[in-house]
Structure 1
Amino acid sequence: MNTSYSYPVSQLLTLGQFFEEVDGRPATWKGYAKLGVDNRHIPELIAVVADEALHTGYGPVPFAPVHAWRILGALKATEALPALVSLLRRIDDDFDDWIATELPCVFSQMGGQSVDVLAPFAADGHNGSYARGGACRAMGEVASGHPEQRGRCLQILMTLLRSFEDNEQTLNTEIVSVLLVLSAAESIDLIREAYAKDCVDLDCVGDLEDVEIALGLRTERATAPKRGEFFQRLLELSNHQEATRPHTAGPKTGRNDPCPCGSGKKYKKCCLEV
């Protein structure tokens, strides 16, 4: 770990998790201005983001890269894009939810130039499917935040989805999810093809009718919902547990007790006689 970060960047190593509200949205990242970090410190902020040792361990130090990428996003420091896109690999390698949640927002803050690095990363089959999905999610954020980029991002996402039979299901599902967020009804024919080949996870985005309803292409279901293997296993497990659960009989109703049916009569004059 590089311990020679200069002030004020060195403050990031001591802030910890709760310096800012943590909901993954830049609107809550308002407290960094008072630290005195600005454009002069961009190279050092990039170094913090890329410092492998800062991404592990306990205490406040592992949150330094989080604070650094938030500041880089606020500064619209596009020179940080190569370092930031490399972080997406940690979603597969380390199951890093912070990166999966926040980096798409950071890329959106930097605008259309983000797509220049996100598109080739998402297309590179050497990257893990979760990392590639993170890049797709980031392009969705860019398209949402910058409407002039929507057409470009949709074209990239749909090009990726056309390889649905070669892609991992995880990636296809992420792309479909992003297309739903973007209300991309123009992608429905391609989505239908992917569903026809069972290349989308039903447990994550629902079945085809769910997708069509979400895109405004139908108003109600025509068939019963279809669910994926994971959901079916949970249902089977639940049914098995219910079937094998010991059932304890309740207290026996006496002849002169009120009838359990609620008629107001005594049990002996009501259901006991039936």
Structure 2
Amino acid sequence: MDKQRIVKIFAVLGEPTDNRPWRDYSGYGLTAADAPTLVELVADNSFVESDGADYWVPLHSWRALLHLMPAGLHELIGIFDVVAEDDWAVDEIPMVVAAACDAALDPLLDYVLDKRNDEFAIPLALQCLVETGKRHSKLRKPVIERLVYALQHSAARDYGLRGLIVAELVALRAVEAMPAIRVAFAEDQVDWTVSGDLEDVELGMGLRTKRDTPRPSYKVEEDDADDEDEDDAPLVEQVIRAEPKIGRNEPCPCGSGKKYKKCCMP
């Protein structure tokens, strides 16, 4: 289907609802051959600047991909760096990728382990893996196997990534991954400010009901370029939001009626 025709169809549909299941897009004549065009529309940031109905074209595009998967899978994974800062996309794209079932597993693992990829996009790939395991019970085991592989084969100094991987394994209640997790903690290879320490992980896995030791203070070193001795750098408390994060597509809290990204978003 012609790209402009797809844009016109989605512009007419206008603002979508958050209701699930989503609209059935199959009646608009879209086929697997249109998947690359839909991915192109997802990545087109020009729609973000629109004040018209075509503002919603990218969102309709990724929702339309749901029933076309695995068509467009590799192209969609390839634009994770473009959509990773869009809260709505981060919330919904894992459901789209999960529709590709086992076809998504190895491309997602490759993306996670490829150091050339954007550090803010890799968590989206991890979320897609976890969502696939949650939505398809038969794929839970292969998803966990790939997360464990990523835990064991990520770059030597990639402590933050391993912290994210451990956190996602906890989200899956992947008790079978505990031997690998314990090794990673024993070798001090996990950023526990991301995942919690080993006791936190065991609590999350349901393997214990209380801590045996005091909870560690989740602090990070202050980045002070003038301090040559990093060991003596002062510690600052991790920032905790007093209010929930405002999504870029949510109404602006100032009451203007505009979307946050179009109004007071810094």
TM-score (norm 2): 0.71
> Would you say 1:217 and 2:207 are equivalent positions?
yes
Gapped regions of structure 1 (runs ≥ 5): 22-26, 238-274
Q: Which residue among 218, 231, 254 is the counterpart of 1:228?
A: 218
Work out the percentage of aligned pairs sharing the same amino acid: 25
**Alpha-carbon distance between aligned partners in 2 of 1:138 and 1:4, rounded to the nearest angstrom:** 27
Deviation at 1:169, TM superposition (A): 3.3
Measured against aligned partners, the alpha-carbon deviations of 1:34-84 in whole angstroms (never above 9, x if no partner) come to: x832443x43353132144345424343431221111211x1431110111
Contact 1:87/1:99 (8 A) holds in 2:
no
* Unmatched 5+ stretches in structure 2: 222-234, 241-266
Query: C-alpha deviations, 1:153-185, integer Å up to 9, x for none?
Result: 111111111135625333222211211111111
Specify the alignment match of 2:231 in structure 1: none
1:126 aligns with 2:124: no
- In structure 2, the partner of 1:243 is none
Equivalent residue in structure 1 for 2:72, among 80, 95, 101: 80
Tell me whether 1:37 sits opposite 2:37 in the alignment. Answer: no
CA contact (8 A) 1:112 1:146 kept: no
Check if 1:186 corresponds to 2:189.
Answer: no
User: Does the C-alpha gap of structure 1 residues 66 and 236 become closer, same or farther in structure 2, counting only changes over 3 Å?
Assistant: closer
| Cα distance, 1:236–1:30 mapped onto 2, change above 3 Å | closer
Q: CA deviation at 1:4?
A: 5.0
| 8 Å Cα contact 2:102/2:139 also seen in 1 | yes
**Does the CA-based 8 Å contact 1:164-1:199 persist in structure 2?**
no
Match of 1:19 among 16, 19, 24: 16
Aligned residues: 223
Q: Which amino acid is 2:59 matched to?
A: V
Which moves more between the two structures, 217-226 or 169-178? 169-178
- Judge conservation of contact 2:218–2:238 (CA < 8 Å) in 1: no
Cα distance between partner residues in 2 of 1:105 and 1:113: 14
Instruction: Tell me if the contact between 2:97 and 2:104 (Cα under 8 Å) persists in the aligned partners.
Output: yes
Measure the CA separation in 2 of the matches of 1:45 and 1:185.
37
Moved over 6 A (4+): none
In structure 2, which of residues 133, 144, 152 is the aligned counterpart of residue 143 of structure 1?
Answer: 133
* Contact 2:219 2:238 survives alignment (8 Å): no
Question: Amino acid of the residue matched to residue 209 of structure 2?
Answer: T
Query: Residues 89-108 of structure 1 correspond to what in structure 2 (within 5 A)?
Result: 89-91=81-83, 95-108=85-98
Q: What is the CA-CA distance between 1:30 and the residue it aligns to? A: 2.9
- Structure 1 residue 29: Cα displacement: 4.0
RMSD: 3.0
Say if 1:229 and 1:62 are closer, same or farther in 2 by CA, change over 3 A.
farther
